[in-house]
Chains A and B, each alone.
Chain A
Amino acid sequence: MAKSIDVSDVNIYYGDFKAVEGVNMTIRARAVTAFIGPSGCGKSTFLRTLNRMHEVIPGARVEGKIAVSGQDLYDSAVDPVEVRRMVGMVFQRPNPFPTMSIYDNVLAGNRLNSRKLKRPDADDIVERSLRGANLWNEVKDRLNKPGMGLSGGQQQRLCIARAIAVEPQILLMDEPCSALDPISTAAIEDLIHDLKDRYTIVIVTHNMQQAARVSDDTGFFNLKAAGQPGHLVEFNPTKKMFTNPDNESTEAYISGRFG
């Protein structure tokens, strides 16, 4: 069951440093939302507040309200661990567990939480997740080999398989394709299309074509000046964003005339 996310007046801090300021948006369920913007404008930072991963950094905190299907994620009664089970995440750098085999990496979400699985069920989850991440054919003969033995792109797809293996309702992806070749990238984009039916997907990307291809809505983040907090400049349907944006700087960024 996919869920929508309502973000209102969110400020994000690293200690005293305000990294992102005044974000308001509604991320639709069963849709793909893309975040674009120059490096350092706070896309990763904002993404990480959506599953309460931001607060694992010492001194980091969030102001404002982020509600998933009406439930405030930052309510004091909400357990961040539960939030992260519901909102999966794929990171910018692939990070498979070095002590685990490919098979165990895919099942990590279950295994680390000591959820008992019957062998056929486990096999089924592994195959389904690896197929979903377009990795199955490459690794099906060496599932018991270490996950670190894969190439960078394969590792990233392993991490995607690991994230979808626990069937989250929302999937956050931070530049998931930055380490991938065009074929794997196309496969991930197809995967995103497939997953859209069941999940709410939020993706950060530096690739305008990718944002245009996969997303339904797009948010453009920007910095006013170096050292200033990043902010959301424009949030609109992707079609409108790429043909007739409301904001001049959006158009400049998308068309590559940025400066």
Chain B
Amino acid sequence: MSTADLFETTTGSLRRRRAMTDRLVTGVIWAAFAATLVPLVWLLWVVVSKGLPSIDGNLLTHDMVQRLDPTTGKLQAGGGLEHALYGTLLVTLGAVAISVPIGLFTSIYLVEYGGRSRVARTITFLVDVMTGIPSIVAGLFGLALFTLIFGVGTRMGIMGSIALSLLMIPTVVRSAEEMMRLVPNDLREASYALGVPKWRTIVKVVIPTALGGIVTGVMLAISRVIGETAPLLVAVGAAEAVNRNLFDGRMMTLPVFIMTQYGTATPEGYDRAWAGALLLIAIVMVLNLTARLISLIFAPKTGR
């Protein structure tokens, strides 16, 4: 039988039907894609159009402290969100500094040492439970912890960092664990066979090979917590002035700033709230792009 005979068995009508099915499914997929894209584009459009006009030098360099205006002689708020920007960046940085080491070491234990032991299974279970902690509960934990140690009424940025790190740790553990499990065992064995001890193999072979994915996971965890409002409101409170010290007093953060400004129900308040929202989205986007770049740089290289 020649190949021509083989192909002739596909009749014209069958071929037409296949082509139609193909077009139909392609259409459905595009429609689904568009349906997910519409809310996203809409949201971005609303935030940009409402937030962009009010972002200027004044907004970025002033806080909300009431000061005497020399020309009018009246008390006037600074009208900026510098304090919230500092607060969000510092509190989030604190959360990263707490959750990345803990999360990374936990996942190293789970992948390289734990095996199927009871301890490892317990940790995995607890991490899963942690994933489900409502953020307000994390905030209350941060508050309760410091109230116990330093007394009622304590407010510090670091309390917010601890609350956020509770929310970040499960994401970091899970993503780092997954990425390290993807590192082929052959590489570990190649390293052992060269007389490299286990800990060096982990530090110099396993983690570098998985680094791109680990960084992406950390960035995703940050994106998840950077917009959290409730735990920060509970644990860090709100403030009018710039506070660059994580260990002393209340701090303003962008989500809380947006909330309080929106709560003023004044045109200026609305403007500032939208500007804050836009900045928050911009920060998350920059983080995501950085993550892409980093994972691109550290991705295992296969090019010739």
Interface positions of A (Cβ within 8 A of B): 51, 53, 56, 58, 81-82, 84-86, 88-89, 91, 93, 95-99, 108-109, 111-114, 142, 145-146, 148-149, 159, 162-163, 166
Contact = CB atoms under 8 A, between A and B. Distances in A.
Nearest to B302: A148
A98 B209 contact: yes
A257 B218 CA distance: 59
B193 A88 contact: yes
Interface string B191-202: 111111100110
Contacts of A113: 194-196, 200
Contacts of A99: 205, 208-209, 298, 300-301
Nearest to B203: A112
B195 A84 contact: yes
B262 to A, nearest CB: 47
Contacts of B5: none
Contacts of B186: 91, 93, 95
Interface in B182-220: 184, 186-197, 200-201, 204-205, 208-209
A149 B303 contact: yes
Interface SS of B by simple majority: helix
B304 interface: yes
B47 to A, nearest CB: 39
Given A112-B204, A112-B205, A145-B304, A95 B195 contact: no
A113 B201 CA distance: 9
B148 to A, nearest CB: 42
B235 to A, nearest CB: 40
Given A56-B189, A91-B189, A109 B302 contact: no
Contacts of B187: 95, 97-98
A146 B65 CA distance: 56
A99 B211 CA distance: 10
B134 interface: no
Interface size bracket, B side: 20 to 34
A149 B195 contact: no
A168 B230 CA distance: 61
A126 B19 CA distance: 57
A148 B195 contact: no
A81 B196 contact: yes
A149 B115 contact: no
A58 B115 contact: yes
A176 B188 CA distance: 18
Contacts of A84: 192-195
Nearest 10 CB-CB pairings of A with B: A85-B195, A98-B300, A146-B301, A95-B186, A109-B194, A89-B193, A149-B304, A84-B195, A112-B196, A95-B190
A82 B190 CA distance: 15
Contacts of A166: 194-195
Could you say which of B184, B187, B192, B303 has the most chain A C-beta atoms within 10 Å of its C-beta? B192
A145 B303 CA distance: 8
A147 to B, nearest CB: 8
Could you say which of B115, B186, B193, B298 has the most chain A C-beta atoms within 10 Å of its C-beta? B193
Contacts of A51: 193
B301 A98 contact: yes
Nearest to B116: A58
Interface string B57-89: 000000000000000000000000000000000
Nearest to B195: A85
B251 to A, nearest CB: 39
Given A91-B186, A146-B302, A82 B195 contact: yes
Could you say which of A58, A85, A98, A159 has the most chain B C-beta atoms within 10 Å of its C-beta? A98
A56 B191 contact: no
Interface in B40-61: none
Given A95-B184, A99-B208, A112 B302 contact: no
A146 B204 contact: no
Given A146-B303, A149-B302, A112 B193 contact: no
Given A56-B188, A81-B196, A145-B304, 4 more contacts: A53-B192, A112-B196, A113-B194, A163-B193
Interface string B263-304: 000000000000000000000000000000000001011111
